[in-house]
Chain A
């Protein structure tokens, strides 16, 4: 328990003034603009949008600036801001086969319709610090271009599904559960789990996904496909009565292909773990897909004894804003609580001492 205490206003306002000063840093250096963060810290912006669960590049960049680059604090700011806005409705589900792709790779097929497109990737870089970036005002050569086919690219999972080797996803009508409206309850439906994972902490998802590869969950995943790009979002405003496209968002999708040994009703086949996130976030989408597959263990009749298969454990601890709130609340004054603990400890001590005296006499 913590108690609201009066006082400290002067100290708090001085602390915040110093925070503002440290945020700005050395004033002989130019101040970062929000547009610079949005453009040049693009992957940090993507992560904040994903964990803040709100796609708005400018707001995410502003949050990063305000948070001095603390991305969890920034996601917190974005989540708090979104609560001030009304909800106009929900979009039509994204049809990711219609994405405009920047990147699309498959680790299961070398040759596939649409090909392997690397896009702007860190893969195959040598991970050596590039000191040339420390010099400002370098000429930036334009990226090469080649003749392009702009048609839709089918999903890899569809190729396997047509052969009957990939489990089809059920498609039920009805509204998916929404964590922003109803609290979690168990067992959680797959749509609710996916919403939870899509905004979960990247580090937490990564560690859990990694654990399934290391034997805690018996996963043998293949990257069926990763696709990164942009897609138009469609809504049907009631006053119009037909679908309209409201603009593009960036997304990353990962289809993880996993073996399934079959059950009484289903033959042995591949099953999917699915990751979908705002922005360019491959690590995040892959980790989400691994954990999604882990959480499907029970419904697929598999043993569910590894951490990544424990629905309550995973879903209750994935959200870094909830987690940071509860961990960091320990900083708030717990004076009364602690006084009672102190009293308690003194009583135990004195009782024990009294008993020792009696025993000695």
Chain B
């Protein structure tokens, strides 16, 4: 069996989860409002805030070490036949619940196209633009060296 970009493939799910993790609760609920009403979800794990130990590597590429922790909020729920998960940076419970709900909806092939169009694609475009704008500001501070002509 070959893996394709269907709603169930890991690669596709990783992509949308990373986009949901970077969106705010307000953005997610606004995007959700544009979707047809979703069926009631069953909460499997209510939003819970905890810590993830962030690791680095000695010298950038050597042995792993513990850099420090960050706050993370997780949530799991069932929407029809699908279980949605969220692990998102920060302590926003509403955001974690919305991200888990959308993760479940995106796994449903009937809901997938509408969710991609109303939620993931616009968020991905906005996030990409924010990154590109920052990269352009950084590029404006790139040093162009020129060599001084020696005068005699």
- A: residues with CB less than 8 A from B are 49-50, 53-56, 58-59, 82, 85-94, 96-97, 100-103, 110-111, 115-120, 143-150, 155, 157-158, 168-172, 176-180, 189-192, 194-195, 198-199, 232-233, 235, 237, 239-240, 242-249, 253, 255, 272, 274, 276-278
Identify the closest chain A residue to B136 (Cβ): A145
Q: Are B60 and A190 in contact (CB under 8 A)?
A: no
For residue B135, CB closer than 8 A to chain A, the reply is yes
B interface residue count range (under 10 / 10 to 19 / 20 to 34 / 35 or more): 35 or more
**Min distance, Cβ B98 to any Cβ of chain A, angstroms:** 14
Q: Which 10 pairs across A and B sit closest by C-beta, in order of nearness?
A: A169-B62, A247-B89, A191-B65, A145-B136, A245-B18, A55-B70, A148-B135, A148-B139, A169-B59, A53-B68
Do A93 and B53 contact each other (CB < 8 Å), given the known contacts A115-B143, A176-B64, A248-B22?
no
For residue B142, CB closer than 8 A to chain A, the reply is yes
Q: With A and B bound together, what is the CA distance between A146 and B85 in angstroms?
A: 39
Q: Are B10 and A242 in contact (CB under 8 A)?
A: yes
* Chain A residues within 8 Å of B18, by CB: 232, 244-245
Q: Are A242 and B14 in contact (CB under 8 A)?
A: yes
- B: residues with CB less than 8 A from A are 10, 14, 17-18, 21-22, 48-72, 74, 76, 85, 87-91, 131-143, 145
Q: Are B52 and A253 in contact (CB under 8 A)?
A: no
* Chain B residues within 8 Å of A255, by CB: 59-60
Given contacts A49-B68, A148-B139, A246-B52, 14 further A-B contacts (CB under 8 A): A88-B72, A93-B57, A117-B142, A119-B138, A149-B135, A157-B59, A157-B60, A180-B66, A235-B72, A244-B21, A276-B56, A276-B60, A278-B67, A278-B68
**Min distance, Cβ B84 to any Cβ of chain A, angstroms:** 11
Q: Are B85 and A91 in contact (CB under 8 A)?
A: no
Q: Are A89 and B52 in contact (CB under 8 A)?
A: yes
Q: Are A55 and B14 in contact (CB under 8 A)?
A: no
* Chain A residues within 8 Å of B143, by CB: 115-118
* Chain A residues within 8 Å of B133, by CB: 145
Q: With A and B bound together, what is the CA distance between A302 and B71 in angstroms?
A: 40
Identify the closest chain A residue to B56 (Cβ): A276
Q: Are B141 and A119 in contact (CB under 8 A)?
A: yes
Q: With A and B bound together, what is the CA distance between A155 and B56 in angstroms?
A: 14
CB pairs A–B below 8 angstroms (20 shown): A54-B69, A56-B90, A88-B52, A102-B137, A118-B142, A144-B140, A146-B140, A147-B139, A148-B135, A157-B59, A171-B57, A171-B61, A171-B62, A176-B66, A190-B62, A237-B87, A244-B14, A244-B18, A246-B52, A278-B68
Do A172 and B63 contact each other (CB < 8 Å), given the known contacts A56-B71, A191-B58, A198-B68?
yes
**Min distance, Cβ B99 to any Cβ of chain A, angstroms:** 10
Q: With A and B bound together, what is the CA distance between A28 and B53 in angstroms?
A: 43
* Chain B residues within 8 Å of A168, by CB: 62
Pick from B61, B67, B136 the residue with the most CB of A within 10 Å: B67
Q: Are A246 and B72 in contact (CB under 8 A)?
A: yes
Q: Are B59 and A176 in contact (CB under 8 A)?
A: no
Pick from B51, B88, B90, B136 the residue with the most CB of A within 10 Å: B51
Q: With A and B bound together, what is the CA distance between A199 and B58 in angstroms?
A: 15
Q: Are B51 and A169 in contact (CB under 8 A)?
A: no
Q: Are B59 and A191 in contact (CB under 8 A)?
A: no
Q: Are A91 and B135 in contact (CB under 8 A)?
A: no
Q: With A and B bound together, what is the CA distance between A157 and B55 in angstroms?
A: 20
Q: Are B131 and A94 in contact (CB under 8 A)?
A: no
**Min distance, Cβ A344 to any Cβ of chain B, angstroms:** 45
* Chain B residues within 8 Å of A276, by CB: 56, 60, 67
Q: With A and B bound together, what is the CA distance between A285 and B16 in angstroms?
A: 33
Which of B87, B90, B136 sits near A147, CB closer than 8 Å? Answer: B136
Q: With A and B bound together, what is the CA distance between A53 and B141 in angstroms?
A: 31
Q: With A and B bound together, what is the CA distance between A147 and B139 in angstroms?
A: 7
Do A246 and B89 contact each other (CB < 8 Å), given the known contacts A148-B135, A239-B76?
yes
Q: Are A243 and B131 in contact (CB under 8 A)?
A: no
Q: With A and B bound together, what is the CA distance between A198 and B49 in angstroms?
A: 24
Q: Are A248 and B55 in contact (CB under 8 A)?
A: no
Q: Are A248 and B89 in contact (CB under 8 A)?
A: yes
Q: Are B58 and A150 in contact (CB under 8 A)?
A: no
Q: Are B53 and A190 in contact (CB under 8 A)?
A: no
Which of B17, B54, B71 sits near A244, CB closer than 8 Å? Answer: B17
Q: Are A55 and B60 in contact (CB under 8 A)?
A: no
Q: With A and B bound together, what is the CA distance between A235 and B55 in angstroms?
A: 10
Which of A97, A101, A249 sits near B138, CB closer than 8 Å? Answer: A101
Do A235 and B65 contact each other (CB < 8 Å), given the known contacts A102-B138, A176-B55?
no
